[in-house]
A and B are shown apart, each in its own frame.
Chain A
Amino acid sequence: MAVVGAFCVSVNREACINARMPGKCATCAEICPHGVYALDTVTGEMEIVNYNACVGCRICSEFCPANAIRINPAESEYVSRYPWTLAAVEEIHYKAQTGEYLLRGFGTQGPTPHFDMITVVPSQIASAAPLDKYREECDMEVVIGEDTCKEPIRLQVPFVWAAMSFGALSKEAKLALAIGAAMAGIASNTGEGGLVPEEAYFAKGYTDKERTHKKWEPGGYMIIQWSTGRWGVSVDYINAGDAVEVKIGQGAKPGMGGHLLGAKVTEDVARVRGVPIGSDALSPCRYYDVQSLEDMKRMVAFLRDATNYRVPILFKLGPSRPYADVAACIEAGADAISIDGLTGGTGCSPDIVTQGVGIPTIACIPPAVQALKDYGVHHRVKLIALGGIRSGLDAFKAMAMGADAAGFGSAAEIAMGCRVCYACQKGNCPYGITSPKLECRARLDPIEVGKRLANFIHASAEEVKILTMLSGHRRTVDLSPEDLRAMDLNTAAITGLKLIGYERPLTMWEPGYQPALTVSPNGNGHKKPGKKQGTRGKRQRVKTL
Chain B
Amino acid sequence: MKTIDAKAKDLKAVNNLLRKSVNGQPVAVKNVSRVHGLAAGLKHGQVIVQGNAGDYLGALNDGGTIKVTKNAGKYVADNMTSGTIIIEGNTDYGAGQYCYGGAVIVRGNAGDFTATMNKGAAIIVCGDVGNEVGTYMLKGDVIVVGNAGENLANYLIRGQVYIGGKWKSLGNNARVEPLTDADTAKLRAYFETYQIKADPTAFKKIVAASEKPFYK
* Complex Cα spacing A288 to B117, Å: 9
Q: Is B162 an interface residue (CB 8 A)?
A: no
Q: Which residue of B lies closest to A265 (CB)?
A: B212
B60 and A235 form a contact (CB under 8 A): yes
Which stretch from A80-88, A300-308, A396-404 is at the chain B interface?
A300-308
Q: Is B56 an interface residue (CB 8 A)?
A: yes
> Given A279-B211, A284-B136, A298-B56, A305 and B117 touching (CB < 8 A)?
no
* Complex Cα spacing A278 to B211, Å: 10
Q: Is B120 an interface residue (CB 8 A)?
A: yes
Residues of A within 8 A of B81 (CB): 234-235
Q: Which residue of A lies closest to B61 (CB)?
A: A235
Of the candidates A100, A234, A289, the one having the most CB atoms from chain B within 10 angstroms of its own CB is A289
A282 and B97 form a contact (CB under 8 A): no
Q: Give chain B's interface secondary structure class.
A: loop
A235 and B43 form a contact (CB under 8 A): yes
Chain B contacts with A in 110-164, Cβ cutoff 8 A: 113, 116-117, 119-120, 135-136, 138-139, 157-158
Q: Is A274 an interface residue (CB 8 A)?
A: yes
Query: How far, in Å, is A330 (CB) from chain B's closest CB?
Result: 19
> Given A274-B139, A288-B116, A305-B41, A299 and B56 touching (CB < 8 A)?
yes
Chain B interface residue count, CB cutoff 8 Å, equals 39
- The one of B12, B75, B214 in contact with A309, judged by C-beta atoms closer than 8 angstroms, is B12
B78 and A289 form a contact (CB under 8 A): yes
Q: Is A67 an interface residue (CB 8 A)?
A: no
Query: How far, in Å, is B132 (CB) from chain A's closest CB?
Result: 9
B119 and A302 form a contact (CB under 8 A): no
B11 and A279 form a contact (CB under 8 A): no
A-B CB pair tally, cutoff 8 Å: 93
A230 and B212 form a contact (CB under 8 A): no
* Complex Cα spacing A274 to B99, Å: 11
Q: Which residue of A lies closest to B216 (CB)?
A: A100
- The one of A229, A235, A262, A288 in contact with B41, judged by C-beta atoms closer than 8 angstroms, is A235
> Given A234-B60, A289-B75, A306 and B41 touching (CB < 8 A)?
yes
* Complex Cα spacing A107 to B53, Å: 45
Of the candidates B41, B94, B119, the one having the most CB atoms from chain A within 10 angstroms of its own CB is B41
Q: Is B203 an interface residue (CB 8 A)?
A: no
Q: Give chain A's interface secondary structure class.
A: loop
A274 and B120 form a contact (CB under 8 A): yes
Query: How far, in Å, is A147 (CB) from chain B's closest CB?
Result: 15
> Given A301-B37, A306-B40, A275 and B138 touching (CB < 8 A)?
yes
* Complex Cα spacing A274 to B211, Å: 12
Residues of B within 8 A of A299 (CB): 37, 56
A275 and B157 form a contact (CB under 8 A): yes
Chain A contacts with B in 282-296, Cβ cutoff 8 A: 282, 284, 288-289, 291, 295
Q: Mark B1-44, 1 if CB is under 8 A from A, else 0.
A: 00000000001100100000000000000000000110011010
Query: How far, in Å, is B99 (CB) from chain A's closest CB?
Result: 10
Q: Is A276 an interface residue (CB 8 A)?
A: yes
Residues of B within 8 A of A278 (CB): 212
- The one of B36, B55, B79, B157 in contact with A233, judged by C-beta atoms closer than 8 angstroms, is B79
Chain B contact residues, CB within 8 Å of chain A? 11-12, 15, 36-37, 40-41, 43, 55-56, 59-60, 62, 74-75, 78-79, 81, 93-94, 97-98, 100, 113, 116-117, 119-120, 135-136, 138-139, 157-158, 211-212, 214-216
Chain A contact residues, CB within 8 Å of chain B? 100, 229-230, 233-236, 238, 262, 274-276, 278-280, 282, 284, 288-289, 291, 295, 298-299, 301-302, 305-306, 309
Task: List 6 tightest A-B contacts by C-beta distance, closest first.
Answer: A302-B37, A306-B41, A235-B41, A298-B36, A302-B40, A235-B60
